[in-house]
Each structure stands twice: as structure tokens, then as C-alpha cells.
Amino acid sequence: MHIVTGGAGFIGSNLVRALIDRGHDDVIVVDDLEDGHKFVNISDQPIADYLDKDDFLQRLDSDKAFSDQIAAVFHEGACSETTEWNGRYMMKNNYTYSQILLHHCLQHRTPYIYASSAAVYGGSTTFVEDPLFEDPLNVYGYSKLQFDRYVRRVAASPDSQVVGLRYFNVYGPREQHKGPMASVAFHFNNQVLEEGETRLFSGTGGYGDGEQLRDFVYVDDVCDVNLWFLDNPDVSGIFNTGTGKAQTFNDVANAVIRWHGKGKIRYIAFPDHLKGAYQSFTQADLTQLRDSGCDVEFRPVEEGVKEYLDELRPR
């Protein structure tokens, strides 16, 4: 069995699809469907089973035969809202749950591939997997960083695979349920459809209008990285997962406008509540990922946005 926690979420549901497309007919989705809107992300996928995230932990604890059948755990489940400041909730959901799964996988020698985040770097301008450059700006980033630290301490030389993937700005299909946390590509597309324009932040922190830089990575490429590690169980560690080339918000907006053949950009004032808590620049250093042997190629914004909007086109 291949377990995908957060399997009804954005990256998780795309990973479920990728596993099934590979021929795996034993994919089990673990999630919390209190927000039932997420069901659409997996309704078209012939999964083997669905388990609530709390029931899943109980099953691991009580059913040895079930645990013995698990081929790998992809832990994508988390609260990813960077504006959530309930630290108790965030740590229980993102940190403690991840710890429990880690120890279970170490005990059973089950490959454990989990989602970390570029949010661990905060306002840094150096994005290397090193404590020197880790300084989160919000409690979400801290929850991810603290788990990475825990992995470094208790699984520095694991007997079975443990991989943390620090996702940068992921965009692509099946993110519509994320609301404000959906990618700018998603929001720009809706803005062009509804208003004929995209809205970008004006310049701040030394950056021009819409010239803030992010490492935008297409979700299919993220899934390919996960599958590469599944195919290479001898490789463990914490790795950046981005394109390695930052592009501007203007680049994303122009790719959306180009696809529609219409639209314009309007710049709006940078919000006061984001000042001091906003990453104006991210760019994955891929040295460690490439040194691991991972050779997945990443799409630039111009290619990824086109594929994304092709997927969103009504059929």
C-alpha cells in the first residue's frame, strides 16, 4: 500500500493521481474532510481506500498487519495557511502528527517522504538546506522548521528512507479549495476571467512593481521529485524542491494574459499587515538535490502556466 496523507489536498491529490497513473492500485488517501469541498480532488481517482487522519493513526497503532503492508508513506498533510497564528493548533497538526508518523516508519523501516516548506527560510536571501539560513517569518514556517530539526536529530542516519522536500511556490491543478492560499496563477486566471485584469502588489523592499521574485514550481514536477525518491530508497535527507530560478509576479501575470489573449496588469498598494512577514525573494538552491542524483527537470513559468490553464479549460 502507498499512503498519501493530505491526499485530498492540492499536492497530495496530484501525487495520488501520479501514483495511480504509474499503475499503483493500492493508494490509500488519508485526510480530514471536515471541509468537504476537497472531495472533488479525489472523486475521479480510483483509490483503494480513504481514512480520516485520526483513524489512520489508530489503525497504525492497533493493526500490525496493516502496517506491514505499507510500501511507503507520503506525508503531505498539514495546515499550510501562512496567516494562521494559532501556534498550538499548528504545532499539533504539523509537528506532532509528523513525529508520530516518523517514528512509526522508522520502527517498521517504511520509506517516509514528507512535505517541508521554503517558508523555513523566511526573509533569508540564501536558500540552502543549512541551519545558518533558516529563519521563518510565521508559525507555519516554524512548524515545518522544527520538524526538519527533529528529523536531523533523530534520523540523521536512518536505517530506512526519510526524505523532507522543501517545496517552494507550487501551482497547478486541484488547488481551488485553498481559497486565499491558492497560487497567484490561480488567482490571476480568475481575475482576468472576472475583471479583465490581474492585480499585483506595487514595489516594496527595493523591488519594482510586480518585480518581487519567487521560485514558482509546477505541481507535476513536484510529484516527479517525490516519485524519484520512491524509486531511490537508499537516498535520505532534506532537499529543496523548486526550479532553482526565481521569476517575477509579472512573469506569471503575463503568462496568464498571454494564454487568454487579453487582459492587463494593475498594481495595488502593498498591504501593511504583510510588511515584515513577506518573502519578496525565494530561489531554491538545487545543489543538494542534484548531488543526490535526482535529475527531474522543472518547467519555467511560461510553460507551467500554459499547462495549468489548459487543464482548467472547460471541457
For the stretch 242-272, pLDDT in tens is 999 999 999 999 999 999 999 999 999 998 8
* Choice among 114, 140, 142, 308 that is catalytic: 140
What's the pLDDT at 15?
98
CA distance linking residue 186 with residue 136, whole number of Å: 25
- Mean of the per-residue pLDDT values of the chain: 95
The cell for 14 is 496530484
Multiple choice CATH, 176-213+246-280+305-312, 3.90.25.10, 3.40.50.2300, 3.40.190.170, 3.40.50.300:
3.90.25.10
Out of 50, 95, 178, 267, which one is annotated catalytic?
178
Is residue 110's pLDDT more than 80?
Answer: yes
245 is catalytic: no
SS3 at position 44 = coil
**Angle, alpha carbons 269-300-78 (nearest 5°):** 70
Q: What's the topology of domain 2-168+219-242+284-298? A: Rossmann fold (3.40.50)
Task: State the span(s) of the chain assigned CATH 3.40.50.720.
Answer: 2-168+219-242+284-298
User: What global pTM score does this model have?
Assistant: 0.95
Active site residue 178: yes
Q: What is the pLDDT of residue 247?
A: 98
57-82 per-position pLDDT tens digit: 999 999 999 999 999 999 999 988 87
- The whole-number pLDDT of residue 252 equals 98
Q: How confident is the model at residue 315 (pLDDT cuts 50, 70, 90)?
A: low
Query: What pLDDT does residue 206 have?
Result: 87
pLDDT bucket at 84, cuts 50 / 70 / 90: confident
Type of residue numbered 10: F
DSSP letter at 132 equals: G
Helix (H, G, I), strand (E, B) or coil at 156: coil
pLDDT at 269: 93
Within 10 Å of residue 228's Cβ, how many Cβ atoms?
Answer: 17
| Residue 194: pLDDT band with limits 50, 70, 90 | very high
300 torsion bin: left (phi>0), alpha (psi -120 to 50), beta (else): beta
pLDDT digit string, tens, across residues 112-146: 999 999 999 998 899 999 999 999 989 999 999 99
Angle in degrees, 0-180, between the axes of helices 249-260 and 301-312, rounded to the nearest 10:
40
Q: Is 289 left (phi over 0), alpha (psi -120 to 50) or beta?
A: alpha
Handedness of CA 26, 168, 86, 91 (dihedral sign): positive
Kindly give the pairing relationship between strand 247-248 and strand 213-214: antiparallel
What's the confidence (pLDDT) of residue 116? 98
DSSP designation for 284: -
